[in-house]
Amino acid sequence: MLLLLAVLIGVLYGSAVYLLLRRNIFKLVLGLIFLGYATNLLLFVASGLTSGYPAFIRNLEGETATMSDPLPQALILTAIVIGLGVTAFALVLVYRFYSVTGTVDLDELSENE
Amino acid sequence: MNSGLLIGLLLLLSFLAPFTRRYLNNLAGPLYAIVPVAGIIYYLRALPVILKGEVITESYKWIPVYDINLSFYIDGFGILFSLLILGIGAFILIYAGKYMVPYPMKGRFMGYLILFMAAMLGIVVSGNLITMFVFWELTSISSYLLIGYHHEKPEARTAALQALLITGFGGLALLGGFVLLGLPYGTYELSTILADPEPIRSSVLYLPALILILLGAFTKSAQFPFHFWLPGAMTAPSPVSAFLHSATMVKAGVFLLARLNPVMGDTQIWHILLTTFGTVTMVMGAWFSITQTDLKKILAYTTVSALGTLVLLIGTGTQYAINAAIIFLLVHALYKGTLFMMAGNIEKMTGTRDITKLGGLFKEMPVAAIVMSLALVSMAGIPPMLGFVGKELIYEATSLAPTSRYLILLAAFFTNSVLVFLSLRLSLDVFWGKRSDYQKKPFDPYVALMAGPVVLVLLSLLLGLFPANLAAPLTAMAITSVSPGHVAVGLKLWHGFNLVLLLSALTLFTGYFMYRYKRMILEHSGSINLRYFAREFSNGFVAAVDGFLHFTKKQTSRIQHGYHRFYLMTVFAVASVLVWVMIWRADPIILELNFADMPLNLVAVVVLIIAAALSAVISHSRVIALVAMGVIGFGISIIFIAFSGVDLAITMIMVEVLMVILAMAVLYHLPKYAKYSESGARMRDGLVASLVGAFMMVLVLQAGTTQMSEPISSFFKEASYSEAFGRNVVNVILVDFRALDTLGEISVIAIAALGIFSMIKLSKRKEI
Amino acid sequence: MMEWIVSILLISGALFMLVAAIGVVKLQDVYMRMHAITKAASLGAILMLAAVVLWHPQWIVAIEALMVVLFVILTAPIGAHMLARVSHHMKVPIGQGYIMDELQDAIDRNEMDGTVSDEDKAIDADKL
Amino acid sequence: MILVLPIMLPLLFMVALIFTRRWLAFQQVFSLIASFALTFLSALLLAEVSRKGIMTLQLGGWPAPYGITLVVDLLSAIMLTTTSFVALVVMIYSPGFIDKERQTAGYYPLVFGLLMGVNGAFITGDIFNMYVWYEVMLTSSFVLIALGGSAEQLRGSVKYVTISFVASIFFVSAIGIMYGQAGTLNMADLAYKMRSWEEMPYMNSALMLFFIAFSIKAALFPFFFWLPASYHTPPVAITALFAGTLTKVGIYTMMRFYSLFVVEDVMFWKIFLLVIAGLTMTVGVLMAASQFDIRKILSFHIISQVGYMVMGLVIFTPQAVAAAIYFTVHNMLSKTGTFLAGGLVYQRSGSYDLKYLGGLYKSMPFLALLFFVPAMSLAGIPPLPGFFGKLFLVKGGFAAGDYLITGVAIAVGLFTLFSMVKIWNEAYWKSEPENMPAPSRVSNLTLAASSLLVLAVILLGVFVGPVMKITHEAAVQLTDPLIYIQAVLGKQ
Amino acid sequence: MIQPDTYPVLSFAVYFSFACLTISLFAGLYRLLTGPSLPDRIVVMDLIASLVIGLIINYVMLTGQPVFLNVAVAIALLVFMGNIAFAKYLKRRVQQ
Amino acid sequence: MLKIFTFLLRIFRLILFIGYYLKELVVSSLYVAYDIITPKDLMRPGFVEVPIDLKNETAVIALVNLISMTPGSLTVDMSPDKKKIYIHAMYLFDKDAFIRKIKNELEDRIRLIFD
Amino acid sequence: MESVILQIAARHMRPILIVLSLVVLYRGHNEPGGGFIGGLMLGAAFILYAMAFGVSKTQKSISFSPVTMTALGLLIALLSGVPALFSGSPFMTGEWITLFQHTVVELKLGTPLLFDVGVYLTVAGMLMLVMFSIMED
Ligand code: NA
Ligand code: NA
């Protein structure tokens, strides 16, 4: 299972990077979103996988031993929400960028440097 | 009074000068001079103690952790220099107070001069290498500000920059040298270092330290091949040339060499380097001075030559040589200070310093003519001026040099002959002969302008007349500090008939001969210069700076090219190289491939996500990419569910949907996009992307297969309900165990919200 | 017994979804595929939810399952409606055998909003 | 308890300022008072820590490796103090410099958001928490850099946002990889565990990811592109604030991580980072030399100077690290000082371009002084603090036997001097260009702020002894990570 | 947890259901990749949402954890908003 | 008292309606499913205009949704005055029968519950 | 002209979503949910409304500014850490009270729940703000 998910994570990172290297600014943002997905998944997978035992206390004996690790889940939740905030900002930035510069071509960013 | 206080007072004065100058008006110069005069009095009072061979030290704690102190160390050599600096300095202040009257920003100018004085004094009385270095650099900076006084002229800026960069370069080397020198001692205190040369001599650091220190000294003292900044610095007003660029600052390098002679000196490499560079500089300075016509440039090149002589003498290191060095230092300071001030006076009176446009000034400026001629007599080394004593000693020292004796002697002979030639020229061509036309009628300058030259030249005369009584004790106390093993040789005007006298006579004759046939000499040396030295060093410097700028500009546009995606590509490419190196350095992962634990449905979900990701990448349609993004989100939340992440899956779905909505809302405004990259670029990007993806994959495998310690989360599981009263452990972590994370996270959210609000708000403003 | 009922519900729900998916592949135009998705898939979900409730006879499970059903019924048609409407605006190619288009008639009578432009045919969906 | 204030106070201030966002005058006065309070608080913390040693706080009362621990050692306290002072100066500077629209569009709350993130990163003892503070800080900086929304700004922000985002992603990924292996997030705990393992086959890969993340934020070679591409675009007060705080967080983190986590393969890390440091110094300064825009020269310069800090850190003797810390502090002050002085030039002459500037030495001598002092400090001219920073770095480098990098560091000094003098020669000494617009008035507040900073630079040089004593103690703490570990975990 | 040895029939049903859903996922994928029109691709998201609800139910049955149903609620509640956003965007495109 | 009675009546009608609707749902689902999985095509698709008389918005949305949830019909649009809806139907063998079925069976029952 | 159906649906969905978001928020400590998810749901409620009726109508339908809401959330979250100080515990230590103890409706309230309310408001406020900003036309 680990190998499969590792491959998946690799593909997601790869796609994200590829999108980031495009000229279209929208693909850039898409790449950022993908990077976020890949990373969330990485956090989840790298810290060990437990099937079928969500981290809820149900008054059962010895349940904590088999329970999935809640910490990475909490971290991912935090990362997701942060990602949402930053991505939302990036989206508005792209919107403003287009309305001010009139282009979505990133190569046109090169002027003036 | 002590040295620290004196320097402090000078610094204070330099700070106050810009604010007080305009109120004090013409009195400013003399009033400011009170401080150095007080200093002179203090040192003169200390003189008896020093003459007994004692050393006065002061020390103030500065950076105690590293044992760096603000120490002062006043020995015979130091006090000699101090008197010179303060004495000439006082006269320069008086001189400058008058000289600068027609110019703007006099206050700042005076301030810089005094700042320089403080710094220079600091160098010579420093008892700690770091202290000395601080003052050393201060002289460079004040020199920069002074050379650039006429900063609206491009050549002044260039000259100032040139001087600063050359001495700055040397300063940096010196810093390295000092630090290295201090290493074997564990301290920078001169008293410790000077007491015992052994630690550094036996260290491998000796050679690097020596070379670095020599770089510092040579640049400051305008040794070949760093000499060219000094003639350039002549764009500065004459008080500056007189004070910094002849009498004092340029001597700092020589001072340093002499100061460190007991520790660094007397080794093979020391002799070779110093005598070689000293000789070359001496001859070269003399040679280039021949063809100059600008009064100050002539003096500048002779200064270069004199500095070469001093370095040569210190490098020679014999008893006579050290004696000669000390005497010549004094001699040179006295006559060169005078000459520069006089050059300034002549320019002031006639409006030019071109000697071909000067002549017959004796009638209008008799006092000036006498003073200047006397100084020139000293320069030519003719009795009874002190210059004669100096030149005699030089001949004696060089004739006794341990190596390359005749070559050096020849060089000294040539140099001295040129000095005689120039002395004749500067005195006869300027004050006698045919009178030129001047813009206004010249007259003998004001007292304030003449006070310095007169006193200095008289001092030169006095010391020359009574060398044994006046000059000898000073040399004697200096030589014990510079070269502890040696004693002072007796100084006298008359040595009897010997080789040295013969050389002196020959020198005078040659000098006169050169003057007699000066037209021919000038012609020939001019053509030689044109042929071999057409490219002046300073031009070379300017070209080098331009070339450097051009190079950096090109490099910059190559590196910081502005193409965002290449920035990103560099980041990713380098990152993957680095991470791959780490992976390669680690042990290979042993993977137990167990296909039984791969539920088919999850394989399907993974394949689905991969297909969606690839279609997002390949597709030209952004809508399809967004749909694919949505599909990926669903897939990931299924993976979360498969491995027990309930809250995660819910959040993922919701964020996913909201993200799609937001992205659509943005797309709503964006135009179609039709440019596609070439296949080559795609291949390259694909390669980088797969490198990144692959290393992330390997890292996940590494992390997933190793478990070095028990995770801390067992605590959360135990404490979640019993201590934090929540059954949803993930939520309890978020709002209790790690609430600070969450607080930070909602701050991010709030800040992003505020940012979005601001951007839209400000954009509206522009549209209205 | 319960196991059997639950199993049948589960299987039939999954089959419904499968049929919907086949429909998505097989049906000839976007409207029909939408039919398949909104209905068959939702119905499949409802059947499967019934299985869950029967297997876990707790109030909370029942309420949650009911919420899923209600929300599916409430939201799926809205989404489908929005897409179908815009598909009609876009003049997405339709399959064979259509016998009438009264919506287009209404649009032609200007009773309904149906944005039409000359470029309709020229719209290259991939480039949007 | 006081430990929580460097984070909570800025947050409180930010919230208060958001609520009052329409009342400009209130915002200006309040931010001034607030940033003064923060400065006072950090100074207090510094005093406390230097008296009592490392202070820790277990948030929520959860014990050390489990909950989030706030840790203030001397390094943190020094960074806190410097940062809040820089912010105070910028707060004095801003009302007279930044246009009213920006000021009412959230400028003040955002500055406190930035400070919250920066302070959080300085005092947290938890890796993931550090990531969160990084994000707080970065998001604020994203907004600040885009605030105003000119085309140039937006261009800069797109680059800045993207590359920073990528860095954050590397950061989180590294946390994931690291947690997967070590099972802990507490930095002291992790450091402790790392020292107890026989070997840790894969930990260094995660460290490399961390390194990449931090070197992007610290603008090390070859990850610096975002900085010169974006720092010149916002109003210079914002750039000054960034220069004084933001890039230094990257350096701070690197110091912390290097101290705690470089356990295995130390030689590799040292050589590798020294090479990076050398390249960073050199490339940065060469690029600075070629520029003609004051802000760009200064921006490229930031890069070069970061190389020095890394060098001092990596040599990792108490002396060298102390030098690096001192250098960092000096750089935060002097760099901000030069930027603010550049702002004054702009306010006066309407341009940052050296080609269109001149004559300021004559017309505004005091302004010239305000630039000259921090610029010379950056160039390492004694007795300004930049000199001492360089001196101790050189001393530390030579003493540790790292001659090559020290030699490079010395050589780079010359180009630094060159680029500073270039600004001086062109903007101050050159005569005024013909078509220069009529000079406008420089506001008294901006002058006052700039003077305050220059004064601080001078004082940092004057009191190098006492300051160096503190940085040395900080370096001793940093070079012996067991002190930190013990303070947090309370075990040997 | 449902194991084949305790609940053979149900266990079979769950796995059978997994198989159906898996095949359906690929059917959706096929439509996503082939289109032809944009709405064709967009509705795939709805299909996948439904399939995900099915998968969630399967996980509930398999693991005996009804808590996963919460995710299904979220999907049922929100996914249609994506459709609305797409529709709005496409409408605007047509209008241009 | 009367209110309670009408409320209970509505509940009763609702339950009846759910029963009716489920039956319809199963029948038509099977029909569509059959059509999908068999190769032969029975379809007669088209867009139909159906007038509605419901006043209550809740009733309208319920009707619209239930039409869409019924296999074979999908609400595409509604007129701004909420008097007409446009349905995409898959099996339009008899347009009038189709409209009648919607109006008499669905609309009436819904009106009884909501109005 | 926006779809009438959508408008009717949005009018119906908004209260449902708001109520549900509150439920999710409250349950969060023991069941799936919490401040994030609740906040996202609340935000979604207004986004849906805005998609149906446009931004200005949506803004008119609420009496508070999303910026204020965000800041308020932040303030609540921050203040929830303060009560701990009065009992001498470190900042952010959970403080709990139990209402209706030993009855059927026993209710445990604590500062962590208050903290979650802060999260809830902040997340929702931010979502609303973003949406209102981008969708404006
Ligand atoms: Na692991
Ligand atoms: Na059929």
Is residue B729 a contact partner of residue G31, using CB atoms and an 8 Å limit?
Answer: no
Q: What is the pLDDT of residues B253-279, one digit of tens each?
A: 999 999 999 999 889 999 999 999 999
Chain C / chain F CB contacts < 8 angstroms:
122
**Range with lowest mean pLDDT among A68-82, D75-89, D132-146, E3-17:** E3-17
Chain C interface disruption, residue of F30, F74, F93, most C CBs within 10 A: F74
Dihedral sign for Cα B158, B162, B165, B171, please. negative
Name the token pair of D192. 């402790």
The pLDDT, as a whole number, for residue D167 is: 95
Q: What is the tally of structural domains in chain C?
A: 1
Judged by CB atoms closer than 8 Å, whether chains meet at G37 and E88 is answered as: no
Q: Which of G52, G28, G41 is nearest to G115 (CA)?
A: G28
Tell me if B295 is assigned to some domain. Answer: no
pLDDT band, residue D68 (cuts 50/70/90): very high
Judged by CB atoms closer than 8 Å, whether chains meet at D154 and A89 is answered as: no
CA D356 distance to own-chain centroid: 30
The pLDDT, as a whole number, for residue D285 is: 92
**Region B598-604: what's the mean pLDDT?**
81
Q: Give D186's DSSP letter.
A: B
pLDDT band, residue B676 (cuts 50/70/90): low
Chain E interface disruption, residue of A26, A49, A50, A51, most E CBs within 10 A: A51
**Range with lowest mean pLDDT among B103-117, B739-753, D426-440:** D426-440
Is residue B146 a contact partner of residue B113, using CB atoms and an 8 Å limit?
Answer: yes
Touching pair C, A by Cβ (3+ pairs < 8 Å): no
Residues of chain G numbered 11-30 and touching chain F (CB < 8 Å): 11-12
Alpha-carbon separation of residue B393 from B308, B389, B606 (angstroms): 15, 6, 94
Is pLDDT above 90 for E52? Answer: yes
**Region F82-95: what's the mean pLDDT?**
89
Is pLDDT above 80 for B55? Answer: yes
pLDDT band, residue B470 (cuts 50/70/90): confident
The pLDDT, as a whole number, for residue C118 is: 42
The pLDDT, as a whole number, for residue A80 is: 94
What residues of G are in contact with residue D11 (Cβ under 8 Å)? 74, 78
Interchain CB contact of D66 with G (< 8 Å): no
- Structural domain of residue B540, as residue ranges? 526-560
Q: What is the pLDDT of residues D424-452, one digit of tens each?
A: 988 888 888 877 777 788 888 999 999 99
Interchain CB contact of C88 with E (< 8 Å): no
CA atoms within 13 A on the CB side of D332: 32
Expressed in angstroms, the distance from the first to the final Cα of chain F is 19
Is pLDDT above 60 for A111? Answer: no
Partner residue opposite B708 with nearest CB, options D182, D229, D322: D182
Is pLDDT above 70 for A61? Answer: no
Pair B551, B572 in one domain: no
Whole-number Å distance, alpha carbon B703 to ligand 1 midpoint, is: 5
Q: What is the pLDDT of residues B182-215, one digit of tens each?
A: 999 999 999 999 999 999 999 999 999 999 999 9
Judged by CB atoms closer than 8 Å, whether chains meet at A51 and B755 is answered as: no
What residues of D are in contact with residue A109 (Cβ under 8 Å)? 155, 158-159
Q: Which of G129, F46, C90 is nearest to A91 (CA)?
A: G129
Burial of F104 (0-12, 13-18, 19+ CB in 10 A): exposed
Pair B623, B706 in one domain: yes
Q: What is the pLDDT of residues E3-48, one digit of tens each?
A: 778 888 999 999 999 999 999 999 998 998 887 888 898 888 899 9
Closest-CA distance, B542 to chain C, in angstroms, reads 57
Interchain CB contact of D179 with A (< 8 Å): yes
Judged by CB atoms closer than 8 Å, whether chains meet at E81 and G41 is answered as: no
The pLDDT, as a whole number, for residue B466 is: 85
Tell me if C63 is assigned to some domain. Answer: yes
Looking at per-residue pLDDT, the higher value among B744 and B452 belongs to B744
Pair B461, B548 in one domain: no
Q: What is the pLDDT of residues D364-383, one digit of tens each?
A: 888 889 999 999 999 999 88
Q: What is the pLDDT of residues A20-33, one digit of tens each?
A: 998 888 899 999 99
**Residue D124 phi, psi dihedral angles, 5° rounding:** -80, 150
Residues of chain D numbered 234-263 and touching chain B (CB < 8 Å): none
What residues of C are in contact with residue E51 (Cβ under 8 Å)? 17, 21, 41
Q: Tell me the residue type at B682.
A: R
The pLDDT, as a whole number, for residue C128 is: 41
Partner residue opposite C84 with nearest CB, options F29, F36, F88: F88
Q: Does an H or E element contain D55, and which?
A: strand D55-58
**Region D115-138: what's the mean pLDDT?**
96
ipTM tops the 0.90 cut: yes
Chain A interface disruption, residue of B597, B620, B621, B662, most A CBs within 10 A: B662
**Range with lowest mean pLDDT among B591-600, D185-194, G7-16:** B591-600
Buried b (16+ CB within 10 A) or exposed e, B142-152: bbbbbbbbbbb
Q: Which of G23, G20, G36, G132 is nearest to G77 (CA)?
A: G36
Pair B706, B718 in one domain: no
Interchain CB contact of G73 with B (< 8 Å): yes
Burial of B484 (0-12, 13-18, 19+ CB in 10 A): exposed
Partner residue opposite A97 with nearest CB, options D128, D154, D229: D154
Please state which architecture CATH assigns to domain A2-48+68-105.
Orthogonal Bundle (1.10)
- What is the distance between the alpha carbons of residues B730 and B747, in angstroms, rounded to a whole number? 20
* Regions of chain C short of the pLDDT cut 50: 117-128
Dihedral sign for Cα B189, B191, B192, B193, please. positive
CA atoms within 13 A on the CB side of G85: 10
Name the token pair of G3. 């779809």
The pLDDT, as a whole number, for residue C54 is: 93
What residues of E are in contact with residue A52 (Cβ under 8 Å)? 1, 59, 62-65
Chain G interface disruption, residue of E79, E81, E83, E89, most G CBs within 10 A: E81
Whole-number Å distance, alpha carbon F37 to ligand 2 midpoint, is: 6
Q: Give B432's DSSP letter.
A: S
Interchain CB contact of C28 with E (< 8 Å): no
Is pLDDT above 70 for B674? Answer: no
Is pLDDT above 70 for G46? Answer: yes
Task: Tell me the ligand closest to C19's alpha carbon.
Answer: 2
Partner residue opposite B742 with nearest CB, options A4, A41, A78: A78
For chain G, which residues make up each domain, given as ranges?
A: 4-136
What residues of D are in contact with residue G67 (Cβ under 8 Å)? 18, 21
Tell me if B340 is assigned to some domain. Answer: yes
pTM: 0.94
Pair B423, B405 in one domain: yes
The pLDDT, as a whole number, for residue B534 is: 64
**Range with lowest mean pLDDT among B551-565, B670-684, D32-46:** B670-684
- Structural domain of residue C95, as residue ranges? 2-113
Q: What is the pLDDT of residues B634-643, one digit of tens each?
A: 999 999 999 9
Which alpha helices (DSSP H) does B466-589 contain, by range? 472-482, 499-516, 518-532, 537-559, 564-585
For chain F, which residues make up each domain, given as ranges?
A: 2-114
The pLDDT, as a whole number, for residue B673 is: 64
pLDDT band, residue B315 (cuts 50/70/90): very high
Is pLDDT above 50 for G99? Answer: yes
Q: What is the pLDDT of residues B638-657, one digit of tens each?
A: 999 999 999 999 999 999 99
pLDDT band, residue G1 (cuts 50/70/90): low
Q: Count other Cβ atoms within 10 Å, centred on residue C82.
A: 30
Q: What is the pLDDT of residues D332-350, one digit of tens each?
A: 999 999 999 999 999 888 8
Q: Tell me the residue type at A75.
A: L
Give the residue from chain G lying closest to F82, CA to CA: G4
